[in-house]
Amino acid sequence: MSNSGPDAIGLCASCRWMRRVTSRRGSTFFRCGRADADPRFPRYPALPVLACAGYDPQSVGDGPGRGAPGGPGAPGAPGAPGEPIEHG
């Protein structure tokens, strides 16, 4: 069984900050792009990530919108079990 599917990755699988890194050996790592600018985020988060304050779902089809946290407008949002933390 493979354990590299979206269920094994969690929120990072659909987060716009996720950077997939493949080593020459063929191993795949998931690097958090937010870690570059915010030290509170681990560069290589422990998977699966089930809750993350920095989660920002990728927009599907629409252009990059510098997504406003808490804003609706994710028509293709996957039915992930965890919801992103919203700030009022």
List residues binding ligand SF4 (CB under 6 A).
11-12, 15, 17-18, 32, 34, 41, 45, 49, 52, 54-55
Q: Which residues does 81 contact at the CB level (< 8 Å), separation at least 6?
A: 50
Q: Residue 55 Cβ, how far from ligand SF4 at the closest point, in Å? A: 4
Q: Residue 82 Cβ, how far from ligand SF4 at the closest point, in Å? A: 9
Q: Which residues does 66 contact at the CB level (< 8 Å), separation at least 6?
A: none
Q: Residue 67 Cβ, how far from ligand SF4 at the closest point, in Å? A: 12
> Judged by CB, which is closer to ligand SF4: 23, or 49?
49
Position 77, amino acid: A
How far, in Å, CA of 16 to CA of 70, rounded? Answer: 15
